[in-house]
Structure 1
Amino acid sequence: MTVPQTPSAFTSPIPAVIDELWERRAELSPADTEARGLVVEAVDLLDTGAARVAFVDPATDEVVVDERAKRAILLTFKLLEMVENRFGDFHVHDKVPLKTTFDGVRVVPGAIARWGSYCAPGTILMPSFINIGGYVDSGTMIDTWATVGSCAQVGKNVHVAGGVGIGGVLEPPNAKPVVIGDDAMLFSRCIVVEGARVGKGAVVASGTILTASMPVIDVETGEEISRGHIPDYAVAVGGTRMKKFAGGEFGQPAVLVLKRLTEGERHDKAQLNDILRDSGVATG
């Protein structure tokens, strides 16, 4: 997909008829074969990577959402019927079928990707789950029992380690999904949800939880850098920030930035482990 330079220049590759169907969605049903065909064609564009739910505008560094793409996904739940399928000994009963296009992708037994998600050539799927609208770019590994939620966008050369939970954001259509930047590393069992964002080259330590409202704090200055956005090339861990309430002072969850890596610096696992261990963080 060609990414435009500015959001104002963006034109969805998905036909405008999807917007018309969305406006009268209350009256649609699986009996509307013409509408169903149009929605299937639209989601096929997501499945092949010809369209995507969201992207980062390189001129503004802002996340741009293709609302029409989200509307097409939501319309599938109105227009597709429940179908029972069997894959070996596994039985499924769902409206959304499994993905069947994996050109250049390594898919290990136990990996599940739903139709309408996209995996670029060179990605590796260990036993994991990718939901509809999810986008996984080239060179990325989705490790064992990791999940990529609906509409989540994962960049190039990312390591999504075992048990990582990348949340889905499907409704409302204009809501920004979770975005993971190129070359990021998400260590085991960390969670990124509610449209939060992990910057390019960032490292997120095991067990870290990042939500859209979570304060991200620089430990060197005590400054709150953002809410729900780990900066590029930051090494981040889960932590707490003390806050006074009527009943006393309590620790509230936060994400702490321990260090900024040099821009473009390749991750050295031993170096990262040293950074984390020096701060008393486990590196599992």
Structure 2
Amino acid sequence: MHSPTAPAVFTSPIDPGVDALWERRTELTPADGTARDLVVEAVDMLDAGHARVAFVDGATGQVVVDERARRAILLCFRLLEMRQTSAGVFHYHDRLPLKREFPGVRVVPGAVARWGSHHAPGTVLMPSYTNIGAFVDSGTMVDTWATVGSCAQIGKNVHLAGGVGVGGVLEPANAAPVVIEDDAFVGSRSVVVEGARVRRGAKLGAGVLLTASTRVFDAMTGEELPPGEAPEWSVCVGSTRRKSFPGGEFGVPCLLVIKRLPEGGRHDKLLLESLFREHGFAL
């Protein structure tokens, strides 16, 4: 469980003028050139990785959200005009352009990323989608048909397997983004949404559904763990628990921790697949 200690005071690297624009956002239009330039500068910082919507505080383990960054993204939809853009034979009509700079990143044909998302050198994008405000750190693979939602934070050396859906968050203002920490593995067709958190080194089997309110249990002890979080250096699978309703008893999704891994331990895909299959699951 993360420390209850409050994180150190955080100062956003983004111009505080964005906050002033936010207070009068209902008045803004694409004709406000000065406001538009300020917001574009802020989103350019996100695109380059000089700012990010959220990060894990190293001292406390808590997720710190830069609300100014999120406000800048939302202001784009008031200040940017609809424009026709293209990528090869594909044509688009949107307020936000596609990302164009990928230094040190392998981008396979079919991969799409929006301006304002950041991919650190060493990441690999198979045919996939990354939305504005997302941060994908080095050594991570976003596999085929995986989606990284708005403002989601993906750590180093993560594998998002085929068809994984990482949820986005722009509104409401107090909603936390999804955070998937370093060295995690998220199995095929899994869905991680609503500010859920996959902590460092956690491995999720195929088809896991993890939301902020998903209950989490240790299969070896029966202990209930903090909701909405895959624990550090654990192997987890989707399961169900019985819950009574007026109409009867039904199975409700939960997350089951089936094994604890040594901290810093590395497991290649074959060994990980063997572990899941031992318990009747798969990657």
TM-score, normalised relative to structure 2: 0.96
Task: Indicate the RMSD between aligned Cα atoms, in angstroms.
Answer: 1.2
Matching residue of 1:79: 79
SS in 2 for 1:29: coil
Residue 243 (structure 1) aligned with residue 243 (structure 2): yes
Matching residue of 1:230: 230
SS in 2 for 1:201: coil
Matching residue of 2:199: 199
Matching residue of 2:41: 41
* CA-to-aligned-CA distance 1:228-278 (integer Å, 9 cap, x gap): 111111101110011223333221110111001110001222322222112
- What is the CA–CA distance in structure 2 between the aligned matches of 1:103 and 1:6, rounded to whole Å? 35
Q: Is the contact made by 1:119 and 1:136 (CA closer than 8 Å) also made in structure 2?
A: yes
Structure 1 residue 280: Cα displacement: 1.1
- What is the CA–CA distance in structure 2 between the aligned matches of 1:247 and 1:128, rounded to whole Å? 41
SS in 1 for 2:20: helix
Matching residue of 1:103: 103
SS in 2 for 1:182: coil
- What is the CA–CA distance in structure 1 between the aligned matches of 2:266 and 2:6, rounded to whole Å? 29
* CA-to-aligned-CA distance 1:182-225 (integer Å, 9 cap, x gap): 00011111010011000101100011110111001111111210
Q: Is the contact made by 1:6 and 1:59 (CA closer than 8 Å) also made in structure 2?
A: no
The 10-residue stretch of structure 1 (262-271 or 128-137) with the greater mean CA deviation from structure 2: 262-271
- What is the CA–CA distance in structure 2 between the aligned matches of 1:6 and 1:119, rounded to whole Å? 29
Matching residue of 1:178: 178
Structure 1 segments, 4+ long, off by >6 Å, are none
Q: Which amino acid aligns with 1:170?
A: L
Structure 1 residue 6: Cα displacement: 6.6
Distance 1:206 1:95, change over 3 A: same
* CA-to-aligned-CA distance 1:121-145 (integer Å, 9 cap, x gap): 0101111000000000000010111
Mark the runs of 5 or more structure 2 residues left unpaired by the alignment.
none
TM-score, normalised relative to structure 1: 0.96
Q: Which amino acid aligns with 1:98?
A: L
Q: Which amino acid aligns with 1:117?
A: S
- What is the CA–CA distance in structure 1 between the aligned matches of 2:110 and 2:150, rounded to whole Å? 19
Aligned residues: 279
Q: Is the contact made by 1:65 and 1:175 (CA closer than 8 Å) also made in structure 2?
A: no
Structure 1 residue 167: Cα displacement: 0.5
Identity of aligned residues (%): 65
* CA-to-aligned-CA distance 1:67-94 (integer Å, 9 cap, x gap): 0000000000000000001222100000
SS in 2 for 1:104: coil
Matching residue of 2:55: 55
Structure 1 residue 174: Cα displacement: 3.1
- What is the CA–CA distance in structure 2 between the aligned matches of 1:7 and 1:245, rounded to whole Å? 40
- What is the CA–CA distance in structure 2 between the aligned matches of 1:270 and 1:115, rounded to whole Å? 36
